[in-house]
Structure 1
Amino acid sequence: MGHRHKNKKLGILIFLVVCVLFLHYCTIHDVVLRHAIYRMLFFLPLVLGSFWFGLKGAIFVSISIIIPYIPYVYHQWNGFYQEFDKFLEAGLFVFMGCLLGYLSEKQQREQEARLKAERLAAIGSAVSQIAHDLKSPLMAIGGFTKQVTRHLSIDHPDRKKLDLVISETFRMEAMVKEMLDFGRPFQLQKTEENLNHLAAECIEISLPFAKSSGVDINTEFDPEITVRPLDSNRMKQVILNLLTNAIQASSSGKIVSVRTKREKQGVALDISDCGCGIKAEDQQKIFEPFFSSKKEGTGLGLAIVKKIVELHGGHIILFSNPEGGVTFSIKLP
C-alpha cells in the first residue's frame, strides 16, 4: 500500500468519525431514534478500517470513536442500569471491529502466501527446465576438455587455459545443481539424528576452507540435545551453506561461531559471522530466490536453505550482531 494511498484512506476514516460525532453532539439528547441511527453509522468507518488496515485499523477506529464519545456519554449519564445497553453496544462494537480486523488480516496473509507459492512454483518450473537443458552441454564440455588436457604436457602453454575451462565448468555445474535443487520437490528421508553430530561433521568438512581464509571456527554445543527425526543429508546441506557464507563474509583473523541450544519448542542452531553485516532492507529479501549480495552465485542458496528448514517443520531467521556481522538462527521442533 503506497504512502499517499494510505494517508488518503486514513483521511476518509477520520472524516467519517468526525462527521458521526458531530451529528451526535449537534442533536439534542431527547431524539433517541436519531442517536441510535448515528451509533449504527459508527460501524461504517469501523468496517472500512478493518478491511483496509486489518486489526490495527479496527483498534485505531475504535479508540478514535470511544475517546471523543466519552464526554457525550458523561453529560447524558442517567445511571449505570439505564445506560447498561450502551455498554453492551460499545463492547459489541469493539469486539466486531477486532474480529473483522483479524479475519481481514488472516485472509490477506493467506492470499499473499498463495500468490507467493504460485510465483515460486512458476519460477521453480522455469529454473528446472533451464538447468536441465544446461546440464548435458556442461558435462560434455567438461568431459572433452579433460580428455584434451590429458594429452598435453604439464608445461604446455594451453594447459592453464584448459584448466580454467574445467574450473569454470565445474562452477557452472554447481550452479546448475542449485537450480535443480530449487526447482524439484524435496523428498525428505528422515532418520533419528543428533544435531550436534551433524554440525560437527559439517565443521570438519569446512575446516580446510576456513584455514585457507584465515578464519577460526568456534563451537558451543549443548550436550543435552537429544536425537530427533532429520534428513541428515539435507540438514548438512543447510549447515554447510550457512558455514560457507559465514566464512566468506568474515575477514582473516576473525571467528565464525556455531552454537546449539535447547529451547521450549525444540532446538536451535546459530551460525554467526564477523563480516560487514547485511543491510536492514536486504534482510527482508535475503531468502527470496535469485537475491544475492555477492557477485557470484545464483542467489538460490538461502532460498533452498529456507525450503529445507521449513520442510522439517522449522523456520530460519537472521539478526545483526552488536559487534558486527549477522547470525542465522535455525529453529527446529
Structure 2
Amino acid sequence: MAWKPNSRDAVWVLLFLALHFSSPIVNTAEVQMLAAFAIFEMIEPRIGIFRDSPGGRFLGVAIRLVLAYLLMGVTGGIASSYYLILLLPVVTAATFFGALGTVAATTMAGLSYLSFLLYIDFENLTIPLDQQQEISFRILFLFLAAYLTYQLARANREQAESYQSLARELAAANKNLQAAQSEVLRSERLAALGQLTAGLAHELRNPLGTIKASAEMLAKKLPAQDALGRELSGYISTEVDRTNELVKRFLDFAKPFRLHVELTELSEVIDRAVHQVRTRAESHRCRVIRNDSPDVHALPIDAQWIEQLVANLLANAIDASPPDSVVTVLTRPAMGGAEVAVIDRGAGIGAENLGSIFNPFFTTKPEGTGLGLAIVSKIVDEHRGRIFVESEIGAGTTIRVWLPDRQEVQD
C-alpha cells in the first residue's frame, strides 16, 4: 500500500522534534527512541492488526509502553523528564478499552516507571521526601489522566450509540412510511379498478345470459343429424359458462367485504381450502403437505374468506410447481396472532414482477385473470393483516400471511 502522508503525520513529527529540541538531555539513544515513537504513531493507524481487534489494540498499547520505558531508560530513568510519555499508552487504553483494561494498562505504566527504582543503590543513596512525593504524584497523575480520558471516551461511545440507534429508528420509520404510502396508493388503485370492474361485470351478465339461452334454444331446434350445429352451440354454452365464472370473480373482487368474524380454528379452515384444490393438485401431480403448529390458537376471522384466501394461494402454488413436487402449508403463532405460509418449489418470481403480483389483472399465466392474488390482498387488508412474499428464481416462492388477534381486528 502506497504511503500517503497526512496532517496527522506532520503533527507527530513536529511534536517529537519539539520534544527533542526541548530536552535537557540530548544523546543519540534519545533521538533514536523519539524517532521510533514518531514512526510507530504514524504507521499504527495504517496497519489493520492494530485497528480491527481488541488484541491488536492491546498490542499497540504494549508497544507504546515498551517504547516509553526505553525512552525514559536512556534519559535518566526515574528522574527522566519524559515520564509524561507514559500518557500515550494510558490514553490509548482509556480510549479503546473498558474500565478493567484501562486500570490494567495504567497500572502497567505505573509499575514500569517505578521499576527504575530497582536500579538505584539505596545503600549509598537516599531519595529525599520531596522527591518521593514527586514520584507518587507522577503515578497518581497517570491514574487521573486515565480516569478522565476513560470518562470522556465512554461518553462519546454512548453518544455515538445513541445516534446510531436513532439512525436505525429513523430508517425503520422511513421504511414503514414508504410501505404505508405504497399501501395507500394500492388501495386507491384497487378501489378505482373495483368500481370499474363491478360496472363492467353487471353490464356483461345480461348479454351473456341471452347468448346462453339462445344457444340452448338453438340446440333444441336443430335436427338430430346436424352434428356440427349442435357441437358449435355446445361450445357457445361452455364459453358462456366460463365467462360467467370470470364475471363472478370480477364481482367477488369488486364488491365490498362484509366480514362475519368469529373465533375459528385456523387448521379447520385450511382443511377445507386444501379440499378445494385437491383435484387441481392431482391433475398437476402435486402433493400438498401440512405443518401446523399446535400453539396456534383460535382467531377472530371470517372463515369463508380466509378459506378462499388459502385456496387461492394454494392454487397459485400448485400451478407454479413442477410435476411430482410438494406444496407446503405452514402455520405458526406470530406477533400476537398467527401466520399462514404457502411454500412452493416452482420457478420463482422475478424481482421485476414482485411489486405487481397483487395488482388486479396482473398475471404471468397464459390463461390467468390476475385476480387470485388481488383478492388475497383484499382479504388480508380487510382482516387488518399483512402479507409478505419471498421468492428466488429457480428455488420457489413463499407467501406469508399474518392475521392479527381479536383486539387489532376489532379496533
| Pair member with larger Rg | 2
Counterpart residue number, 1:36: none
CA displacement 1:162-205 (0-9 Å, x = unmatched): 33222222221122122222222211111221111111111112
User: Could you tell me the TM-score, scaled by structure 2's length?
Assistant: 0.53
Aligned pair in 2 of structure 1 residues 277, 147: CA closer, same or farther (>3 Å)?
farther
Q: Confirm whether residue 291 of structure 1 aligns to residue 291 of structure 2.
A: no
Partner of 2:207: 137
Cα distance between partner residues in 1 of 2:234 and 2:384: 43
Equivalent residue number for residue 125 of structure 1 = 195
Alignment map for 1:29-40 (pairs within 5 Å): none
Show the 5 A alignment for 1:193-272: 193-272=264-343
Change (3 A) 1:314 1:110: closer
The whole-number CA distance in structure 2 between the counterparts of 1:135 and 1:143 is: 12
Matches of 1:314 and 1:140, distance apart in 2: 42
**Offset of residue 113 of structure 1:** 4.8
Aligned mates of 1:106, 1:250 — CA distance in 2: 33
8 A contact 2:249–2:371 mirrored in 1: yes
- How far apart in 2 are the matches of 1:283 and 1:151? 52
* 1:288-333 alpha-carbon deviations (Å, 9 max, x no partner): 1221111223312211111101211211112126972212111111
Note closer, same or farther for the CA distance 1:229–1:136 as it changes in structure 2 (3 Å cut). Answer: same
Match of 1:306 in 2: 377
Q: Structure 2 unaligned segments of length 5 or more: list them.
A: 1-148, 150-159, 405-411
Alpha-carbon contact 1:175-1:297 (below 8 Å) kept: no
Letter in 2 for 1:127: T
Which residue matches 2:243?
172
Distance 1:232-1:281 versus aligned 2 partners, 3 A rule:
same
Q: Please give the alpha-carbon distance, in whole angstroms, between the structure 1 residues aligned to 2:261 and 2:219.
A: 42
When normalised by structure 1's length, the TM-score is 0.64
Residue 158 of structure 1: how far off its partner (Å): 3.1
Task: Quote how far apart the aligned CAs of 1:224 are.
Answer: 3.5
Q: C-alpha separation between the residues in 1 aligned to 2:185 and 2:248?
A: 26
Amino acid at match of 2:345: C
Distance in 1, matches of 2:314 and 2:324, equals: 16
- After superposition, residues 4-153 of structure 1 pair within 5 angstroms as 113-149=183-219
Letter in 2 for 1:200: D
Q: Distance in 1 between matches of 2:364 and 2:165?
A: 46
Change (3 A) 1:134 1:262: same
Distance 1:207 1:154 in 2: 40
* Structure 1 unmatched runs, 5+: 1-78, 80-89
Q: Counterparts of 1:303 and 1:165 in 2: how far apart (Å)?
A: 29
Alignment: residue pair count: 256
* Conserved? CA contact 1:320–1:327, under 8 Å: yes
Give the corresponding residue for 1:163.
Answer: 234
Aligned partner of residue 223 in structure 1, secondary structure: coil
Deviations 1:95-134 (A, max 9, x none): 9999999998887766655444433322221221111111
Task: Check conservation: 1:321, 1:327, Cα contact below 8 A.
Answer: no
Choose 172-181 or 317-326, whichever is displaced more: 317-326
Q: Greater relative contact order (Cα 8 A, min sep 6): structure 1 or 2?
A: 1
Q: Deviations for 1:65-89, whole angstroms, at most 9, x for unmatched residues?
A: xxxxxxxxxxxxxx9xxxxxxxxxx
Whole-angstrom CA distance in 1 between matches of 2:390 and 2:242: 30
Letter in 2 for 1:130: L
CA–CA distance in 2 between the matches of 1:321 and 1:111?
A: 26
* Percent identity for Structure 1 against Structure 2: 34
